[in-house]
């Protein structure tokens, strides 16, 4: 899982600005998920992944958990990790958590993960693993743990490499005959770090992108490139242990990229509208791909709409795990549809219903129809923010096809394919994975702070033509509106709690920790 990766920042979508050959090789070898939807921010997205429920069903719908806030994913919710653990899997989280840290009980090894190496909060510096909450006068605290112990062993090392090394080591040492493995490699990349130095990358990675003039974007390209290398290393490790044949490998981002504004990293969600923390497609559509020898249509683009909350029941089904109906999941089991490649499941998705002032908003979809009412940040990020930079092209793109075929990912996955993948037309798959947005004639604008907006996403994936005036009194729109109202009436109240200054790392040896369980060393408690 990438963090804040733009929809157009994997080159299998067609951009040649900078290339992601390993991710692309995984995508072309497997199934490109052209319509994978996530919530628009980190905490809601991760809660939906691990519970199989909409954030409105668990109280995780409003914004994110800020490091100084004493709340988390409710303890009565069962996580995907707990389910796999209870069914005999060894479960490991490497990297970001962001589902609560004020109490030990909120943290990964108390929520179904046998092991965790990584950080508990929103983000950290890529080298010193500290987090500075600039909105408050807290000290800059270290946030990196090996299970429940603060770990300083890797300070000075690049965190993408730390997590990749840990994944490779885990795979190399894992006893496959004793237990199957559930691994969630939850990268920091390419999320911005602290405000004083947000974009960071190793010099040897940066040197590949000297053709990019904008310094921030050059760093971003290098951050994504290092992430891409991580994908290659994990696939290679699985192949070396002969674990690939019986593995399911999924790549995705937790939400759209922030092109501008808070924690901006120069990500591009081209050609989609909006960005992270908005209800538009650019905030909630993830570039994703999945691979398994179980799939009958390897080397295809799957257009079925799928929600991140569907992954829990879908992956459990793939693993032969039966789920208790009393869990009341919002996610659907789409394993058969994915396995056989059919695209006929009409999926409703509650993207967001957030009634909290000052920016109440909702986004809901059923089939091809999408409703947006209200928006975030007073609408300042509601436009089309990404663009294809054509004058700065990765030199490797001249031999793109051969670059993909030369990756270890392509070669290892080819060995397990039923038919030789050399026959596969990479250019054709790349074209199929692109989202095309012709400008509609007589397009009607959308002003969600004034009235609802209604889109046909199949025809208009870039949300250019608002159909609300045309459909507002039809049964199509009114039925959807009634369904939204039903969800809103039954929504779990947000779990958010105000900041607690007792969290300040200065009280706990300059560590971000579960402060509600800790005895402060100097007067916080």
62 in catalytic set: no
d(CA 326, CA 323): 9
CA torsion through residues 217, 219, 223, 226, sign: positive
Q: Which two tokens stand for residue 192?
A: 């911005």
The torsion angle over the Cα atoms of residues 96, 98, 101 and 107, rounded to 10 degrees, is: -60
Q: 31 pairs with which residues across the strands? A: 290, 300
- DSSP H or E run through 340: helix 335-340
Q: Which residues of 197-214 are buried (b: 16+ CB within 10 A; e: fewer)?
A: ebbbbbeebbebbeebee
Q: Which residue among the candidates 98, 116, 191, 351 is catalytic per the annotation? A: 98
Contact 374, 360 (CB under 8 A): yes
CA-closest candidate to residue 121, choices 151, 106, 101 = 101
Give the length of the chain. 525
Assess contact for 464 and 439: CB atoms under 8 A: yes
Give buried/exposed letters for 508-525 (b at 16+ CB in 10 A, else e): beebbbbbbebeeeeebe
**Alpha carbons 310 and 342: distance in angstroms, whole number:** 16
Closest CA to 484 of 374, 288, 324, 349: 349
Rounded distance, CA 190 to CA 238, Å?
A: 24
- How far is C-alpha 244 from the chain's CA centre? 23
CA–CA dist 76, 492 (Å, integer) = 13
Say which of 42, 316, 446, 503 is annotated catalytic.
Answer: 42
**Distances from the Cα of 54 to the Cαs of 182, 253, 367, 480, in angstroms?**
22, 17, 17, 17
* DSSP code of residue 103: S
Q: Taking the C-alpha atoms of 367, 370, 376 and 382 in order, what is their torsion angle to the nearest 10 degrees?
A: 110
DSSP H or E stretch at residue 237 = helix 215-240
Whole-number Å distance between alpha carbons of 129 and 138: 16
Considering only CA atoms, which of 148, 124, 460, 77 is closest in space to residue 281? 460
Residue 98 appears among annotated catalytic residues = yes
Peptide bond preceding 271 in cis form (omega within 30 of 0): yes
Nearest to 21 by CA among 410, 286, 482: 410
Rounded Cα–Cα distance for residues 395 and 255 (Å): 29
Contact status, residue 289 vs residue 27, Cβ threshold 8 Å: yes
- The three-point CA angle 219-223-227 to 5° equals 165
Positions annotated as catalytic residues are 42, 98
């Amino acid at each position: 899982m990438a963090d804040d990766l733009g929809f157009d920042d994997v080159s299998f979508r067609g951009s040649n600005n900078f290339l992601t050959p390993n991710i692309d090789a995984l995508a072309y070898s497997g199934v490109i998920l052209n319509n994978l939807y996530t919530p628009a921010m980190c905490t809601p997205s991760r809660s939906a992944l691990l519970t199989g429920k909409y954030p409105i069903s668990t109280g995780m719908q409003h914004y994110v958990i800020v490091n100084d806030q004493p709340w988390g994913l409710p303890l009565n919710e069962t996580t995907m990790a707990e389910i796999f653990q209870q069914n005999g899997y060894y479960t490991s989280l490497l990297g970001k958590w962001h589902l609560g840290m004020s109490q030990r009980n909120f943290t990964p090894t108390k929520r179904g993960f046998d092991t965790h190496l990584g950080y508990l909060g929103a983000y950290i510096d890529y080298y010193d693993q500290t987090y500075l909450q600039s909105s408050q006068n807290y000290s800059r605290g270290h946030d990196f743990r090996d299970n429940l112990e603060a770990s300083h062993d890797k300070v000075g090392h690049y965190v993408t490499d730390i997590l990749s090394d840990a994944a490779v080591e885990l795979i190399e040492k894992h006893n496959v005959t004793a237990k199957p493995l559930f691994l969630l490699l939850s990268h920091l990349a390419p999320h911005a770090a602290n405000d004083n130095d947000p974009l960071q990358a190793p010099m040897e990675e940066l040197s590949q992108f000297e053709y990019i003039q904008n310094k921030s974007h050059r760093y971003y390209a290098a951050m994504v490139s290092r992430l891409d290398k991580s994908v290659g290393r994990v696939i290679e490790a699985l192949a070396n242990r002969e674990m690939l044949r019986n593995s399911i490998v999924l790549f995705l981002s937790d939400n759209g990229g922030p092109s501008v504004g808070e924690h901006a990293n120069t990500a591009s969600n081209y050609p989609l509208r909006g960005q992270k923390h908005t209800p538009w497609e650019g905030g909630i559509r993830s570039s994703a791909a999945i691979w398994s020898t179980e799939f009958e249509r390897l080397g295809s683009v799957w257009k079925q709409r799928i929600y991140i909350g569907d992954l829990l029941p879908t992956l459990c089904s793939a693993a032969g795990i039966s789920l208790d109906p009393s869990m009341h999941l919002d996610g659907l089991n789409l394993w058969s549809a994915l396995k056989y490649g059919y695209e006929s499941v009409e999926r409703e998705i509650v993207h967001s219903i957030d009634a909290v002032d000052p920016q109440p908003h909702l986004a809901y979809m059923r089939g091809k129809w999408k409703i947006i009412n209200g928006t975030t940040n007073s609408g300042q990020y509601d436009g089309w923010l990404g663009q294809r930079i054509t004058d700065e092209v990765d030199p490797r793109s001249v031999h793109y096809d051969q670059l993909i075929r030369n990756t270890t990912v392509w070669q290892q996955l080819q060995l397990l394919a039923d038919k030789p993948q050399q026959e596969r037309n990479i250019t054709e798959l790349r074209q199929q994975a692109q989202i095309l947005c012709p400008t509609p004639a007589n397009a009607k604008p959308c002003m969600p702070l004034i009235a609802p907006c209604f889109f046909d996403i199949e025809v208009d994936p870039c949300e250019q033509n608002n159909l609300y005036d045309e459909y507002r009194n039809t049964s199509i729109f009114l039925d959807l509106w009634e369904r939204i109202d039903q969800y809103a009436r039954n929504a779990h109240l947000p779990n958010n709690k105000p900041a607690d200054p007792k969290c300040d790392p200065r009280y706990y040896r300059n560590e971000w920790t579960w402060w509600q369980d800790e005895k402060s060393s100097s007067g916080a408690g």
